[in-house]
Structure 1
């Protein structure tokens, strides 16, 4: 590994950030100080801690992943079967088209930045005790925040690259000889145990608050640590990491050390899932409902599922009871530009953007009907023709003759739209803007999006969703180009879904599976599973329940940077990511627009389960082995 990744890339500090938690996360390192200067005072020590935080992801900026900034936005939303960007420069295209290589800048970007964050954290943990200018209990808290962040950065590397080198807790000197920085990869089990043990040290220290309050908003607390611990164990139990994926499982270091688990017996795999389930349940028992609960909005005493699901992912303030881990004060103009259609002819500029992030037809089809049933069971003709589930009420042709209104009086779909977009579950209307839908911003009157070729947001006019559908989740309720927002990266619904998935793999008859899966469905306003009147039949086998859980997760966490990693850790990306993607016919007007139309062939090879290790590091660190299937030339 390059020496610069192991040593602190920059002994730099943040601009003044003591009085405002928004400043704490919103600045970039600007200066270079000596090691001793970093911990001279309380103020400089806090700035050094802020440098550790700066590498947290900013998922509102995914269009500009790998653009050289210190933050680490992903390529995850448009890098899977959920969506596609209009613009050619977006790095997710490299993954979708199978043109990524070990020399691609996106490959080195995450590697460099997360190891820089790890190095910054290690330097802080080692050096902060030198500070004599602050309260010891606060100093201890800051050190544990840095420890937790370091473990989180290792987890981010693990899920992108697979097993990675774990650095010494004592940072290697910048003057160390080259042979001191020749590091092999640690095994998956070593990586997981190290990360989990670091989280346990933080929890056992008693130094962090249970949940950070508004004056310390966004900082690491015990709830975040426990939620991330459960996430790590969820990945460790999944097929990509537990040794059952035969393609990656044979990876070895140059000395022959096997990097994936050898014991793939049912008993061993179940033990991993049991450990993951226990970790998720420990979070639930400790923090729900005292600290967290699913967001629910009521209209005249009736659950408004649409508003509940919409508000669950919004972070305008700190009243959201569902958000666990988040980045505060994030500039969301990039994301809102991507998700606000062009709206040529709209009165106000706050209505007019690009709509350049398009949802795929496959993602549109994945949402349930209002009766809780899936409308489509699969496809024929290489993904083009949907296989309709009977008795769901789904119609894929014709237009509605009246507005579709929920029981609270909310109009979910206006009169005259395609029948396929009528009678769907509330989450569909939270996540998807379709042609004919009323726009969210009504400050200067109602405006309706039209994605047909000559429409107000169609291809003829320029930027538009390449699929004929625009991603709507987290789109602005007002002007797209104003304000900042909290970027939520982990919320309670994900913990519930992790828990039921893990339970189904280790104890498929456990009653909690239905309990927590139904909590998600109940909040979404669709029928739950059970034997009572109005409920849907419970999936009868472990495999059927597995598919039900995955289907629920797909729509509940849509466009939240989950799907990219889920299909990989489950080992199904060869099916979901290796097929044509479809949308509406964006070159057509009138009825022609509503034809399911191919827009891109997605290519996925087995090697793409993990990113390659950056070629520059392979060249320098002679102990590093490359991930299977990758070479310097491909």
Structure 2
């Protein structure tokens, strides 16, 4: 079964439940649960379709936030769109409140709808006599564990945005029930998600999956363990662990620092690594184009198309023009080290201001399209008046850069063609970097911390250099290593909805986001090219309140027990 079959099945059940009479003999807006969870359905066909509907709540990150990537609301990019209502610009300039937080990021109701759907499935699947088995379990129990995994994922998405939220357990409320529930503490929510991951991991599929064409979208034991590691990493981070925005408020984080939280996060990440079933692909670029590869811990299917290129590719091409929606910043470009692994600010790095993209970390070329890069059998021109920066009213790059990541191998092609656009929600490189971060914070820059970073840099194509250190300075302090890890996450995970949240959990947004975003003005006179930085957007971050989103105004109004986050 290919990607589209899963998506079509999910759509089918949604339509069936919402009113398309093609799928049922009775009015489908009245379909009772006993028609979905049918004790006569030994294959569990309808129940599985309902589960696909729970999967559909997962977000696909490609241009999902008002047509942009969420990273365009961080210091890594800006939106090329000029509309004043642009969602990521609202997010990055603090132009929102509890009434007006944009719907593409105000996902409180979305995830609670997913939690309700998951609970409906969990509460009703037992009556379905599914005959198929997996590892000794009836497949219906595997499905139930999948629903619990999705529910845990939805709760994590809630707590990283809002802090502690009401925990529903397995309850499904009706219109006559009192649902004025208070928020659970942040600690309660973390413990609940972790306990769910521990409870379900051994009843999920095991990687490698025997039929990846049919089942690659489903969580595995490694997925549950990786979600646990991610939750614990966030819980150990400064925003929640010692840097609570309201020191005595247990809804917004822990009320005291505990170093053991970092150790717990490191242990959880190492447990996934010790499964010895996941690994880094040799080629960084292949991670996003090769389905069912061993770096994918959990993903959301996207189908085969060229939408990423159409939305974000450079303008100026007749056969394969893009809209240039995403403009990477100079700050992101400068974060990529040289091919020798040294930062461009290091006098020994070999960086040349007049040839700024030469001999850089290969991930720069895989992530960003810059002036002079090869694309569609051409040399990209983002100098003023160039083919891909013609100026005028056409939407185009605002920074002289275009996003390259996630796109197909079109350097030497004449036109775009379809390729996989699955969205990787969790991947192994992220987990390895999380392990390095947590271990550094708990034990300092040990050999294992160095080795974790070296594995990422080696795969990236960084030169081994003296002592096979891949550009890493020997004998770093914990503080020095922390900076290196932060930068490594930035360049490795660019545009993967990491940077936006990392700046918050590290409590760095108040510094980073309160300064202008910059791009480059590139001018060409004859064969001479000059590069001059320029401000392209003034961003703003109101600390401490913006470290968490406001609880939506209507949720607070209708529920007297729903406490608002501080400052909102």
- TM-score > 0.5 by shorter chain: yes
Superposed counterparts of 1:255-404, under 5 Å: 259-264=252-257, 268=258, 270-286=259-275, 288=276, 291-296=277-282, 308-312=283-287, 314-318=288-292, 320-330=293-303, 333-344=306-317, 346=318, 349=319, 351-376=320-345, 389-397=346-354
1:480, distance to aligned residue in structure 2 (A):
4.0
Please give the alpha-carbon distance, in whole angstroms, between the structure 1 residues aligned to 2:431 and 2:476: 24
Q: Is the 8 A contact 2:65 2:87 kept in 1?
A: yes
> Which residue in 2 is equivalent to 1:12?
none
Please give the alpha-carbon distance, in whole angstroms, between the structure 2 residues aligned to 1:223 and 1:396: 44
1:245, distance to aligned residue in structure 2 (A):
1.8
> Which residue in 2 is equivalent to 1:95?
91
Q: Measured at CA, do residues 276 and 27 of structure 1 come closer, stay the same or move farther in structure 2, by a change above 3 Å?
A: farther
Cα offsets for 1:114-170 (capped at 9, x unmatched): 111111001100011122354470111111100111001000111111211111322
Cα offsets for 1:589-609 (capped at 9, x unmatched): 657873111111010111111
Please give the alpha-carbon distance, in whole angstroms, between the structure 2 residues aligned to 1:164 and 1:510: 36
1:540, distance to aligned residue in structure 2 (A):
2.1
Instruction: Find the partner of 1:596 among 525, 533, 536.
Output: 533
Superposed counterparts of 1:114-263, under 5 Å: 114-132=111-129, 134-135=131-132, 137-176=138-177, 180-204=178-202, 206-212=203-209, 213-214=211-212, 215-242=214-241, 244-251=242-249, 259-263=252-256
Q: Is the 8 A contact 2:341 2:471 kept in 1?
A: no
> Which residue in 2 is equivalent to 1:578?
514
Q: Measured at CA, do residues 555 and 532 of structure 1 come closer, stay the same or move farther in structure 2, by a change above 3 Å?
A: closer
> Which residue in 2 is equivalent to 1:457?
388
Please give the alpha-carbon distance, in whole angstroms, between the structure 1 residues aligned to 2:93 and 2:274: 44
Q: Is the 8 A contact 1:330 1:487 kept in 2?
A: no
> What runs of 5+ residues in structure 1 fail to find an aligned partner?
1-15, 66-73, 253-257, 297-307, 377-388, 398-418
1:106, distance to aligned residue in structure 2 (A):
2.4
Compute the TM-score of the two structures, normalised by the length of structure 2: 0.88
Q: Is the 8 A contact 1:339 1:475 kept in 2?
A: no
Please give the alpha-carbon distance, in whole angstroms, between the structure 2 residues aligned to 1:601 and 1:589: 27
1:451, distance to aligned residue in structure 2 (A):
2.0
1:539, distance to aligned residue in structure 2 (A):
4.5
Superposed counterparts of 1:469-548, under 5 Å: 469-478=401-410, 479-480=415-416, 482-527=418-463, 531=467, 536-548=472-484
Q: Is the 8 A contact 2:309 2:416 kept in 1?
A: yes
Is 1:567 aligned to residue 503 of structure 2? yes
Instruction: Find the partner of 1:55 among 45, 57, 68.
Output: 57
CA-atom RMSD in angstroms: 2.5
Q: Is the 8 A contact 1:77 1:559 kept in 2?
A: yes
Q: Measured at CA, do residues 423 and 168 of structure 1 come closer, stay the same or move farther in structure 2, by a change above 3 Å?
A: same
Structure 1 stretch displaced more, 565-574 or 81-90? 81-90
Q: Measured at CA, do residues 536 and 530 of structure 1 come closer, stay the same or move farther in structure 2, by a change above 3 Å?
A: farther
Q: What secondary structure is seen at the aligned counterpart in 1 of 2:503? A: helix
Is 1:46 aligned to residue 48 of structure 2? yes
Q: Measured at CA, do residues 207 and 326 of structure 1 come closer, stay the same or move farther in structure 2, by a change above 3 Å?
A: closer
Please give the alpha-carbon distance, in whole angstroms, between the structure 2 residues aligned to 1:130 and 1:536: 57
Q: Is the 8 A contact 2:454 2:469 kept in 1?
A: no
Q: Measured at CA, do residues 330 and 613 of structure 1 come closer, stay the same or move farther in structure 2, by a change above 3 Å?
A: farther
Report the count of equivalent residues. 534
Please give the alpha-carbon distance, in whole angstroms, between the structure 1 residues aligned to 2:157 and 2:306: 25
Cα offsets for 1:347-366 (capped at 9, x unmatched): xx2x2112221100000000
Q: What secondary structure is seen at the aligned counterpart in 1 of 2:350? A: coil
> Which residue in 2 is equivalent to 1:617?
555
> What runs of 5+ residues in structure 2 fail to find an aligned partner?
18-30
Q: Is the 8 A contact 1:573 1:604 kept in 2?
A: yes
Please give the alpha-carbon distance, in whole angstroms, between the structure 2 residues aligned to 1:174 and 1:534: 60
Q: Measured at CA, do residues 111 and 604 of structure 1 come closer, stay the same or move farther in structure 2, by a change above 3 Å?
A: same
Compute the TM-score of the two structures, normalised by the length of structure 1: 0.79
